[in-house]
A and B are shown apart, each in its own frame.
Chain A
């Protein structure tokens, strides 16, 4: 009878353990189950097409002749307007005078070089891997690049191995603040420095030419919070009265608060999209999700003192004349709420005419993930890899209801698109249209989002608290009839998370 009792206990556990194992190599198209959101495709039911191809077997959803993902690339055959070569290395990063960390650099620096382009320019970035043994990629966070330029190992390309290079080409069609980072082993490579900023300015300069335009790339290296690679407060020279645009990028894994002391400020753009009619605020912080960007506009005080842009802890930018005194910069408790900030404006599509409606419900439950016991994230009640894949057709209006009852906050990032926030917990947005690519969903909150499916491909839709992605909070938005030639694992050792 002991054997029976032991089997009754071990049998189900063993079965659950075995069922959770993930193969070393798989296509993301074979992962989980397709959801069609009430749109077409349900009848043809996600049958996998396997046929031989240059890259091996190819999987896609849909009935027609698929388009190879690789062909969804940026313009070739004409000279680029902005060219940059980024050389990735494993080496030490000096964070503070007494503190160095083992990390990753681009052109011997972390953050990597700032790339600036004017709207409409063709950007070409050649990524060279000199010494990152796990391989690297570059993902253009927030930029609607063609799918093959999205830089996700195992989804849109193979990881670039030591000695190899890869050329990204895309037209910078959106003005705003963006960033790039590795999407190979990203939970390891991004925290250890493999990232940089991309700023796209209007084709014709707007505003006064003496305006200050400064980046604030916030990053925590081994517990040290930095801005633009430096700990503590950094000075930014600015004339009294000068207008300044501060582009804050949260390259970390958690929500951060930023605020201005010594001057009022306006939130002029979120995730690279301008807000409509933003009003000045004071003694109020902005809560910036992991991966998100916010542009703050302020005027340097005319009395010769500096304005202080607080970035959490002692990290700050001081804008003003050299040696100007700066206010102490206590963190305000109030936060800007984008639900009712700025003024409404028309948007180019009607979210009520949705072709597809999806639910992305994040929870947590005990079980096994690839054989490891623990409490793991779930999407719509399932753990990785049994997750939904959201299938859309080009030109669809797509609505997504994001819910979180998992006990922790999740900064959700959709690749290749911005989504319009419609409501939070049933309260509609009454301020400026709020477009986002990185949205923090607090525990207990739900959001309604809508977007137009206008960028065909296979796009990751995942948590940007990067360890959470490793723990299975990763799914995909898949356009019908796009063939996926790449695999996770495989000879290239692709590990996008």
Chain B
């Protein structure tokens, strides 16, 4: 369970990196399209980069966050539930910031910063699950008990 927790947390961190990459690809693609005569208006529904960003950000990463939180109840990772909850909360915040930003683009700055926060807390959660099998100073079990 501990290694599942760790892998999920790393997957979320990797997802954040992929999101940074695909959104850069998306908007460079737009600039390229506009150069060749495309018009950017309400009819514009985005390119493959936007689609990927939407699917990862709206579905896959929140789902990973939810699974991480559920796994944390059983994984007996010290502080694991707390960090999984933080990761999930930061994901929810990230989605909300995105939707607020459509109306108030300046909030997009926070969406960008919060992405790095998510990368940080996901990596931190993964770190907590490192060293599975090593003796923890009063760690895994008591942490598990605290939660239950």
Q: A residues near B, CB below 8 A? A: 1-3, 5-6, 9-10, 13, 96, 99, 191, 220, 222-225, 231, 252-256, 290, 312-313, 315, 364, 366, 372-375, 407-408, 443, 465, 467
Let me know if A374 and B70 touch, CB within 8 A: no
With a cutoff of 8 Å between Cβ atoms, the chain A residues found around residue B147 in the complex are: 1-2, 5
Determine which of A6, A99, A220 lies in contact with B41 in the assembled complex, contact meaning CB atoms within 8 Å.
A220
Residue of A nearest to B88 (CB): A9
CB proximity of A270 to chain B, nearest CB, Å: 20
Sample of 19 A–B contacts (CB below 8 Å):
A1-B147, A1-B148, A2-B74, A2-B147, A6-B73, A6-B74, A191-B43, A220-B41, A223-B33, A223-B39, A224-B37, A252-B42, A252-B43, A256-B41, A313-B41, A373-B62, A375-B95, A407-B99, A465-B42
In Å, the complex CA distance between A191 and B41 comes to 13
- Is B58 engaged at the interface, CB distance under 8 Å to the other chain? yes
Known: A6-B70, A9-B70. Contact between A374 and B38, CB under 8 A? no
In Å, the complex CA distance between A465 and B99 comes to 18
In Å, the complex CA distance between A253 and B70 comes to 41
CB proximity of A479 to chain B, nearest CB, Å: 33
- Is B129 engaged at the interface, CB distance under 8 Å to the other chain? no
Residue of B nearest to A443 (CB): B103
In Å, the complex CA distance between A10 and B45 comes to 33
CB proximity of B102 to chain A, nearest CB, Å: 6
With a cutoff of 8 Å between Cβ atoms, the chain A residues found around residue B44 in the complex are: 223
Let me know if B66 and A9 touch, CB within 8 A: yes
Q: B residues near A, CB below 8 A? A: 33, 37-45, 58-59, 62, 66, 69-70, 73-74, 95, 99-100, 102-103, 147-148
In Å, the complex CA distance between A438 and B25 comes to 36
The DSSP consensus for interface residues of chain A is mixed
Let me know if A253 and B99 touch, CB within 8 A: no
Let me know if B99 and A375 touch, CB within 8 A: yes
List 15 other contacts, CB 8 Å, given A223-B37, A375-B95. A1-B147, A5-B73, A6-B70, A10-B70, A13-B66, A223-B33, A223-B43, A224-B39, A225-B39, A256-B41, A290-B42, A312-B39, A372-B59, A407-B100, A408-B102
Let me know if B41 and A254 touch, CB within 8 A: yes
The interface centre, meaning the residue of B37, B44, B45, B100 with most chain A CB atoms within 10 A of its CB, is B37
CB proximity of B32 to chain A, nearest CB, Å: 11
Let me know if A467 and B45 touch, CB within 8 A: yes
With a cutoff of 8 Å between Cβ atoms, the chain B residues found around residue A1 in the complex are: 73, 147-148
Which 8 residue pairs are nearest across A and B when measured between Cβ atoms?
A: A254-B42, A1-B148, A2-B73, A223-B38, A220-B43, A225-B39, A407-B103, A2-B74
In Å, the complex CA distance between A447 and B100 comes to 24
Let me know if B38 and A224 touch, CB within 8 A: yes
Known: A1-B148, A2-B74. Contact between A253 and B37, CB under 8 A? no
Let me know if A373 and B59 touch, CB within 8 A: yes
In Å, the complex CA distance between A465 and B38 comes to 19
With a cutoff of 8 Å between Cβ atoms, the chain A residues found around residue B99 in the complex are: 364, 375, 407
Let me know if B62 and A253 touch, CB within 8 A: no
In Å, the complex CA distance between A90 and B103 comes to 37
Residue of B nearest to A407 (CB): B103
CB proximity of A292 to chain B, nearest CB, Å: 13
Residue of B nearest to A220 (CB): B43
Known: A5-B147, A373-B59. Contact between A313 and B73, CB under 8 A? no
Let me know if B59 and A253 touch, CB within 8 A: no
Known: A191-B43, A231-B37, A374-B58. Contact between A9 and B69, CB under 8 A? yes
In Å, the complex CA distance between A364 and B98 comes to 14
Determine which of A220, A366, A408 lies in contact with B39 in the assembled complex, contact meaning CB atoms within 8 Å.
A220
With a cutoff of 8 Å between Cβ atoms, the chain B residues found around residue A375 in the complex are: 95, 99
With a cutoff of 8 Å between Cβ atoms, the chain A residues found around residue B38 in the complex are: 222-224
Known: A2-B148, A220-B41. Contact between A408 and B70, CB under 8 A? no
Residue of A nearest to B58 (CB): A374
Determine which of A254, A372, A443 lies in contact with B43 in the assembled complex, contact meaning CB atoms within 8 Å.
A254
With a cutoff of 8 Å between Cβ atoms, the chain B residues found around residue A10 in the complex are: 70
Determine which of A253, A313, A372, A408 lies in contact with B103 in the assembled complex, contact meaning CB atoms within 8 Å.
A408
With a cutoff of 8 Å between Cβ atoms, the chain A residues found around residue B58 in the complex are: 373-374
Residue of A nearest to B100 (CB): A407
The interface centre, meaning the residue of A2, A252, A364, A443 with most chain B CB atoms within 10 A of its CB, is A2
In Å, the complex CA distance between A315 and B60 comes to 40
In Å, the complex CA distance between A313 and B33 comes to 14
With a cutoff of 8 Å between Cβ atoms, the chain A residues found around residue B42 in the complex are: 252-255, 290, 465
With a cutoff of 8 Å between Cβ atoms, the chain B residues found around residue A373 in the complex are: 58-59, 62
With a cutoff of 8 Å between Cβ atoms, the chain B residues found around residue A225 in the complex are: 39, 41
CB proximity of A379 to chain B, nearest CB, Å: 18
Let me know if B39 and A407 touch, CB within 8 A: no
In Å, the complex CA distance between A2 and B73 comes to 5
Residue of A nearest to B99 (CB): A375
